[in-house]
Structure 1
Amino acid sequence: MGTLEMLSPGVRVSNALVSYVTYLWKTIWPRYLAVFYPHPAETIPPSYVLLAVILLFSISYLVFCNSMRRPYLLVGWLWYLGTLVPVIGLVQVGGQAMADRYTYIPLIGIFIMVAWGLPDTVAALCHNTRYRISYLAPLVACLALLAFTICSYIQVGYWKNSFTLFRRALSVVESDVAHNNLGLVLQERGKIDQAIKHYAAALAIHPASVEAQGNLANAMSSTGRIEDAIAGYEAILEFRPDDHKAHNNLANALMKIGKVDEAIQHYYKAIGLNPSDPVVHYNLSTALVAKKEYKKAWEEICIARRYGFQGDPAYVKRVEQAAKLRP
């Protein structure tokens, strides 16, 4: 998939039309909900777009035809269509095709249509049929509430923690975001090998994902696969040469294999990009100590402490003493 900033207006409009209908369907049948829905970009089937246009036009036609007798239909439908416009994806923000949270306000319009439409419908049926069915309305309402309560209970279970949330997201739709975040959760739990598989899966879906590449490189570094980690950090810098964290992490990896001079170069590049990061100053001090440049190392420690990073007290004291004895 190309970068989202390059999505054509036609793709954005197509996704918007399909999203309008998808939101309606998920409101009626809230089964396959996920924290993240990846943008399909140019892969949206034309048939989906055509069906969305037909459905939206049909609903709009029926609403306008009944707007005089049932004005709440027009109010609710225009509310739904209008309040979704800022978040429907005509101006793309992020990598998602849609997001359930965007419907909190727009669905008020649909609920207006239902709240006023159901009583009118029940009243009309009672008036036009031989059998009075008004006694069924409370029963139907209770059954509907029970069904939505069960659905809500199930959905809340998926939000128990980050692991269940992103595992559920992957069961609904494959996405680099879900794989990457599930990998982070697994890594925090010490399951590095499983985390690496999810980072790799994220990169297979979106090779330009700097976040997944960085997490994969960090995981490689933590398991001693330093050369693979270095390759990962270098790949990040190809996409984003001004990423100071990537320079810092690359320098850390280079330090582990004894390439101190190269590490120092990347520490200085990181500082040039973000002079107020105390961790980089502190890390640079360790490289300078390895070069026996204690005075410069102490200066970097002082800068790190000025920004609130204290570091290892024993190490700091040792460098301070060395700087005084061997400037």
Structure 2
Amino acid sequence: MGLLAFDFMVRALVAGALTGVMAPAVGTYIVQRRLSLLGDGLGHVAIAGVGLALLTGQAPVPVAIVVTVAGAVAIELLRQSGRATGDVGLAILFYGGLAAGVLMAGLAGHGAGSLSQYLFGSLTSVSGGDVLVVAAMAVVVLTCALGLSPQLFAVGADEDYARTQGLPTRALNLLIVVLAAITVAISMRTVGLLLVSALMVIPVAISQNVVRGFRRGLGTSMVLGLVLSVGGVVASYHLDSATGPTIVVLAVLVFVLTLPLSSILERHRRAHHPDPTEEEPLFERAEPHESMTEAHDRIAVLHGDHVDYLHGGHRHAPHGDHFDEH
């Protein structure tokens, strides 16, 4: 391919591929917790990090990572303490981060336009050092997101039940937002701070249209993120368009195209599994954690606004420190 003859395009492909795999891996847990807009909020906090870097003369990416992680942890601690609900915390992230970033950029002698390359990404200007940073952070994020998938899934599916099984739910919730913060800050040079949330959410939404089961959904979303990112980079090269928006528009088109397929597959599942207790579980059985040995033979199934557990052919809903059978 002609684009491989250009070093900047090779770097763009590598950085885009790493981001495409990393973002849905974290986004799976964000969607599971119904915090799909968290990426947008963290993106605005990262803007504050960029503004601080411009004001202090530091490199934007490291400062943005530190500021975004600090903001994510602060909001999560407020949520856990009951001092702020999830939507209030996200509002604080949205408006406070954006205003602080623009203010500090102005104080540093830079106009708001200086933030545009971070807001919408500049993948073709990624340097070799940027690729190394993205690769290092991708290893950290993927190691946590995949290595701790049973525990992170348990917390997202039913936090109260996970707590009764001895899981450190507070620490795991913090880990999820920290991973999201790192992913957002790293992605500002690839798809941009205003668009990274789409790459965290849309591949997950597409995977939900075509597969069922937590592990299959996680794997499928990561593959989709990889394909969409690389495809977006290639398409932007041939169309001479902005890379970040091209990736996101391509993802949206794929999502729309899979909507009819979702209906067909759902009718097929209902035809083959008319008994809800025999249906294919929404989430596959996760490998048991040492503190979840009593729950290793239960399968989580979404039921309305809560999660039931299939055991012995019957549904059981967690209630405090015990289960009630439906």
Q: TM-score, normalised by structure 1?
A: 0.22
Which structure has more relative contact order (CA 8 Å, sep 6+)? It is: 2
Greater share of strand: 2
Work out which of the two has the higher radius of gyration on C-alpha atoms and give 1 or 2: 1
